[in-house]
Amino acid sequence: MALVLERKELICSKNFIDGQWLAASSGERFAVTDPATGERITEVADSGPDDARAATDAAARALPAWRDLLPKERAAILHRWNALMLAHQDDLGALISLEQGKPLAEGRGEVAYGASYVAWFADEATRIYGDIIPQQQRGKRMTAVKEPIGIVAAITPWNFPLAMIARKIAPALAAGCTVVAKPAEDTPLTALALALLAHEAGVPAGVLNVITASREKAVPAVGNWLEDARVRKITFTGSTPVGKYLARESANTLKKLSLELGGNAPFIVFDDADLDAAVAGLLAAKFRNGGQTCVCPNRVYVQSGVYAKFAELLSQRVGQLKVAPASDPSAQIGPMINSRALDKIARHVDDATSHGARILAGGKRLPELGPNYFAPTVISDATADMLLCSEETFGPVVPLFRFEDEAEAVKAANDTPFGLASYFYSQDVKRIDRVSRALEAGIVGVNEGALASEAAPFGGVKESGYGREGSKYGLDDYLSIKYVCQGGLD
Ligand code: SIN
């Protein structure tokens, strides 16, 4: 099945600034390629600081009117955007699969997932309450009101080209902020298509601006937003080194930051776990998007009593996964995003085997399918001195570590600077309570591998960042609290 869009104009190649499609001011462009084949899909604007500033100028002009709309007026526009996303689910799903490589069913699923954040925050827009503070002195009324923080810069990754940008833009717009956004250079097309649909939904000119930039140009372009005092907030999903860079470089104007950064998720299987459920949960959590999500289990700790059985059950299932391009309807694992990603995965597997690990399934590149494919892999006898223990592999590789008791498992799970997701399987209620409290992570899956939901707070602790996306807490990152003290009322 070819990845063809019914509505071809959803493939946009210019920046979207102030409601208009504009080439980069330098006239430069860069190629967007299909990771399944390495072939060029199209070219998009290679933006620099002038384009970033033009986007901020538009967002600044649009802010007063957008902020002053009634919350239910903003909500109505967001609901229309949500409806248009769902009406274009097939086309957007195909576009995601085309530029990112994930199987078509996952591409379509991501459209529904991303759209659910838009609907959620449309409703939340109407529930931005403040407080009347209990009276402290006669003649004085003290209130706390919530206001939009201002212009938000959203910088998004390639692994979920639609969901990650939707769950940043939706709360920002719901709160009354205006947005300048830059999607990842590997997957800019879905973000531009979303901007087109937002415009059709009635988002006014300048409220949402999207610019694209190559790896080389992104630093000066985003640098312009970092220096510009009018940009009051940065929301970023991506690597921890880049998150730290953004925090450092935005310090001069003390911007508010939401950073959803790298993970190194542990997945613990205790002796008392339902092993079939644990295998199913691990497959769902690990192989979603080919292992390229921040919440994918990276280290799987299995208690010694069930280690051999679990390894056998898992390897059988992993060996059956179908690796194929998104155009094949039976595909379960697609290509990795690019050759750098593939090289990292291969390096982790080679390092593990050179330190004594054994390959139970996969373990190799699949060049016969295309340039960026890696076989779903299970590795046994993994140890803490291997690269795949300390670094996020971001690919379809499951390393199995053996442990003897609960304290050892929890200590190993927490022995990382990261703290985004964690998972464990156990049927002992007291252990479930103990281990949920002991794990240092923003998200804990207990006997469950599929955690994502627009109604849940998504975010990390430690070097996985700060801020929460989704849920009733997700708007807070886009609001500031103003205390108003009115005197002379006696
Ligand atoms: C991520 O990889 O950053 C997000 C994954 C998710 O939404 O579950």
Number of the ligand 1 atom closest to the C-alpha atom of 260? 3
Find the CATH number of the domain harbouring 447: 3.40.309.10
Q: Are residues 189 and 306 in the same domain?
A: no
pTM value surpassing 0.95: yes
Number of the ligand 1 atom closest to the C-alpha atom of 452? 8
The answer to whether position 377 is within a domain reads yes
The count of domains in the chain is: 2
The pocket around ligand 1, CB under 6 angstroms, is made up of: 159-160, 163, 237, 260, 293-295, 452
Closest residue by Cα to atom 3, ligand 1, is 294
Give the pLDDT of residue 3: 81
Closest residue by Cα to atom 6, ligand 1, is 452
* Distance (Å) from CA 459 to ligand 1 centroid: 9
| Three-class DSSP labels, the chain | CCCCCCCHHHCCCCEEECCEEECCCCCCEEEEECCCCCCEEEEEECCCHHHHHHHHHHHHHHHHHHHHCCHHHHHHHHHHHHHHHHHCHHHHHHHHHHHHCCCHHHHHHHHHHHHHHHHHHHHHHCCCCCEEECCCCCCCEEEEEEEECCEEEEECCCCCCCHHHHHHHHHHHHHCCEEEEECCCCCCHHHHHHHHHHHHHCCCCCCEEECCCCHHHHHHHHHHHHHCCCEEEEEEECCHHHHHHHHHHCHHHCCEEEEECCCCEEEEECCCCCHHHHHHHHHHHHHHHHHCCCCCEEEEEEEHHHHHHHHHHHHHHHHCCCECCCCCCCCCECCCCCHHHHHHHHHHHHHHHHCCCEEEECCCECCCCCCCCECCEEEECCCCCCHHHHCCCCCCEEEEEEECCHHHHHHHHHCCCEECEEEEECCCHHHHHHHHHHCCCCEEEECCCCCCCCCCCECCEECCEECCECCCCCCHHHEEEEEEEECCCC
Return the best residue to mutate from 237, 288, 293, 394 for the ligand 1 pocket (most ligand atoms within 8 A of CB): 293
Q: Are residues 241 and 359 in the same domain?
A: no
Q: Are residues 173 and 159 in the same domain?
A: yes
The answer to whether position 1 is within a domain reads no
Q: Are residues 34 and 148 in the same domain?
A: yes
pLDDT, one tens digit for every residue, the chain (490 residues): 568 899 999 999 999 999 999 999 999 999 999 999 999 999 999 999 999 999 999 999 999 999 999 999 999 999 999 999 999 999 999 999 999 999 999 999 999 999 999 999 999 999 999 999 999 999 999 999 999 999 999 999 999 999 999 999 999 999 999 999 999 999 999 999 999 999 999 999 999 999 999 999 999 999 999 999 999 999 999 999 999 999 999 999 999 999 999 999 999 999 999 999 999 999 999 999 999 999 999 999 999 999 999 999 999 999 999 999 998 999 999 999 999 999 999 999 999 999 999 999 999 999 999 999 999 999 999 999 999 999 999 999 999 999 999 999 999 999 999 999 999 999 999 999 999 999 999 999 999 999 999 999 999 999 999 999 999 999 999 999 999 999 999 9
The answer to whether position 3 is within a domain reads no
The answer to whether position 459 is within a domain reads no
* Distance (Å) from CA 295 to ligand 1 centroid: 6
* Distance (Å) from CA 108 to ligand 1 centroid: 16
* Distance (Å) from CA 482 to ligand 1 centroid: 32
The answer to whether position 228 is within a domain reads yes
The answer to whether position 291 is within a domain reads yes
Number of the ligand 1 atom closest to the C-alpha atom of 159? 2
The domain containing residue 399 runs over which residues? Answer: 265-453
Indicate which residues carry an active-site annotation: 260
Closest residue by Cα to atom 7, ligand 1, is 452
* Distance (Å) from CA 230 to ligand 1 centroid: 29
Q: Are residues 172 and 52 in the same domain?
A: yes
Return the best residue to mutate from 295, 394, 468 for the ligand 1 pocket (most ligand atoms within 8 A of CB): 295
Return the best residue to mutate from 242, 294, 453, 471 for the ligand 1 pocket (most ligand atoms within 8 A of CB): 294
* Distance (Å) from CA 121 to ligand 1 centroid: 18
Interval 63-90: pLDDT, tens: 999 999 999 999 999 999 999 999 999 9
Q: Are residues 470 and 442 in the same domain?
A: no
Find the CATH number of the domain harbouring 200: 3.40.605.10
Q: Are residues 281 and 233 in the same domain?
A: no
Q: Are residues 432 and 479 in the same domain?
A: no
Closest residue by Cα to atom 8, ligand 1, is 452
Number of the ligand 1 atom closest to the C-alpha atom of 167? 7
Q: Are residues 239 and 136 in the same domain?
A: yes
Q: Are residues 257 and 271 in the same domain?
A: no
Give the pLDDT of residue 379: 98
The answer to whether position 182 is within a domain reads yes
